[in-house]
Structure 1
């Protein structure tokens, strides 16, 4: 069953603030408290998530997989790095798969890293058309996320839908449905 952009916005609105009021206070908003409670519940599934990541390493040779889940973002994230470039800082690019904890949707995107001296530099984010060298792993990762977690891909045009929500570093009118369901800083990965 596919959800509409409005249905996804309604869901995200339960966990994301519609004003900046609580950012100026010391107390958590009701939305933030709901998100924290949901994360507490979802963290009980962390063993299943880690087992999934281990299975990816067996099923998709040539890549090193890691957990990129961050509690401020309402999703589980796995990161695929080309195996020949691991460990850091020589990682030239990565493909990231996200499963939202708010709605039964996922996304896959790519990040290409620049190099500044011996560490990663600026990055190029690919939310839509991934370069050819990322496409195969992105397709494989998406297929495995769908099968394992019974989620559907968030259509790219829907992901870009502006939403009237405040999400960590993003504020309307820049905030999108992608930000609200997954992360406002997709380029920040381990």
Structure 2
């Protein structure tokens, strides 16, 4: 069950500062987030199970655990296998499991593959097609999380997340990432 909008905003304010620090010192909220990351990364858990399940479900694609502790979530991506004959436009499907709230999201990023990868498009609401459907189902079952509805994800959050600042910061940024198109 997705927590209420008020609860999600409270969670965002717990882990992200509501004021910008002119000295750029880590905020008390940043210390809380780093402590939570240390705990989450120290224990094997459902995230590892999910990555294994994605590897099995999408053996023809490359699965990447792209998690960084600068965000509020575990990240994974389903990349198309690259080869000279597979150049052109391709979607990368991304799953995010928040570590600060019991929610997840699945979205996609379009890149043009050739000599190098070029960002083309971000779709935070991918269509109900494969591999997004299977990724969402596995995230729900392995992680015991609920899908964050787009209307709640797009709600403004009065916090500073990465380079996002109010009024442009949304709950998506606070619960998942401020750079959804910045994939390795």
TM-score normalised by structure 2 residue count: 0.90
Corresponding position of 1:125: 122
Q: Contact (CA 8 Å) 2:50, 2:143: kept in 1 or not? A: no
TM-superposed CA distance for 1:6, in Å, is: 1.3
- Pick from 33, 36, 58 the counterpart of residue 35 of structure 1: 33
- Pick from 32, 51, 54 the counterpart of residue 53 of structure 1: 51
- 1:75-127 deviation per Cα after TM superposition (whole angstroms, max 9, x unaligned): 001100123x279x958321000000000000000000135x61112331000
How many residue pairs get aligned? The number is: 182
TM-superposed CA distance for 1:128, in Å, is: 1.6
Corresponding position of 1:93: 91
Q: Contact (CA 8 Å) 1:80, 1:96: kept in 2 or not? A: yes
Determine if the alignment matches structure 1 residue 13 to structure 2 residue 7: no
- State which drifts further: 55-64 or 4-13: 55-64
Q: Contact (CA 8 Å) 2:72, 2:98: kept in 1 or not? A: yes
> Larger % of helix: which?
1
**Higher relative contact order by CA 8 Å / sep ≥ 6: 1 or 2?**
2
TM-score normalised by structure 1 residue count: 0.87
TM-superposed CA distance for 1:68, in Å, is: 1.1
SS of 1:53's equivalent in the other structure is: helix
- Pick from 158, 165, 174 the counterpart of residue 164 of structure 1: 158
- State which drifts further: 28-37 or 49-58: 49-58
SS of 2:94's equivalent in the other structure is: strand
Q: Supply the distance in 1 between the matched residues of 2:6 and 2:39 (Cα, whole angstroms).
A: 25
Determine if the alignment matches structure 1 residue 155 to structure 2 residue 169: no
- Pick from 168, 177, 186 the counterpart of residue 171 of structure 2: 177
Identify unmatched segments of 5+ residues in structure 2. none
Q: Supply the distance in 2 between the matched residues of 1:146 and 1:48 (Cα, whole angstroms).
A: 11
TM-superposed CA distance for 1:47, in Å, is: 6.1
Corresponding position of 2:2: 2
Q: Supply the distance in 1 between the matched residues of 2:36 and 2:70 (Cα, whole angstroms).
A: 12
Determine if the alignment matches structure 1 residue 108 to structure 2 residue 111: no
Q: Contact (CA 8 Å) 2:106, 2:126: kept in 1 or not? A: no
Q: Supply the distance in 2 between the matched residues of 1:161 and 1:86 (Cα, whole angstroms).
A: 40
SS of 1:140's equivalent in the other structure is: helix
Identify unmatched segments of 5+ residues in structure 1. none
